[in-house]
Amino acid sequence: MGKLTQQLTNLNMQKQAISTKPIRSLEDALAQCQVLGMRVSRQRRFILELLWQANEHLSAREIYDRLNQQGKEIGHTSVYQNLEALSSQGIIECIERCDGRLYGNISDSHSHVNCIDTNQILDVHIELPEDFIRQVEQQTGVRITDYSINFYGYRNSRENSVNC
Ligand SMILES: [Zn+2]
């Protein structure tokens, strides 16, 4: 393959990666695996089903525990390997936290509400006003193409949480 052809192929691949439609359901996630040529093993399906049911961010350990509680037999290694494969292909979300990684079902860009008292992370889709983005661009000289906001707060009032 000539150099130019190779470059064009790379360009096309990039374009494809960008134009993939957002994953909005378990079915979309399974379809995306097929598009990417990933085998949908029983274990891989278990993990995707759980993340779409749970609708929250879970650690590999929690995913392992929950699946085994449901009577779905899956080994530790299989959980870790599948999470790695799914997140590296952009089918699931992976958040790096100081205490480890968490996985979620939504893979396209979104924002998070971090509950300080419950330690939960909730997904929200926030759209900033166009003016605001222009302002950030003017201040930094960077053309903004994507963003994700972290909100922090208490689910229960602080007085109530003392009793917990
Ligand atoms: Zn998330």
What are the two backbone dihedrals, phi and then psi, of residue 135, each rounded to the nearest 5 degrees?
-60, -45
> How high does pLDDT run on average in the chain?
87
- For the residues 2-28, what does the mean pLDDT come to? 63
Tokens 């393959």, residue? Answer: 1
Smallest Cα–Cα separation from 153: which of 129, 125, 126, 118?
118
Residues 101 and 124 in one domain: no
Q: What is the DSSP letter of 163?
A: T
Q: How far is the CA of 5 from the centre of ligand 1 (A)?
A: 38
Q: How far is the CA of 123 from the centre of ligand 1 (A)?
A: 5
Q: What is the DSSP letter of 108?
A: S
Single pTM value for the model: 0.76
Domain region containing 77: 22-108
Report the distance separating Cα 132 and Cα 146, nearest Å.
13
Smallest Cα–Cα separation from 103: which of 44, 58, 67, 53?
58
Q: How far is the CA of 57 from the centre of ligand 1 (A)?
A: 7
Report the distance separating Cα 64 and Cα 45, nearest Å.
13
pLDDT, tens digit (0-9, with 9 covering 90-100), for 102-152: 999 988 889 999 999 988 899 999 999 999 999 999 999 999 999 999 999
Residues 105, 93 contacting (CB under 8 angstroms): yes
CATH number at residue 99: 1.10.10.10
- For the residues 35-56, what does the mean pLDDT come to? 94
The whole-number pLDDT of residue 20 equals: 64
Percent of the chain with pLDDT over 90: 71
The whole-number pLDDT of residue 108 equals: 87
Residues 97 and 119 in one domain: no
Query: Is residue 16 a part of any domain in this protein?
Result: no
102-121: b (≥16 Cβ within 10 Å) or e: bbbbbbeebbbbeeeeeeeb
Q: How far is the CA of 8 from the centre of ligand 1 (A)?
A: 34
Q: How far is the CA of 19 from the centre of ligand 1 (A)?
A: 21
Residues 44 and 101 in one domain: yes
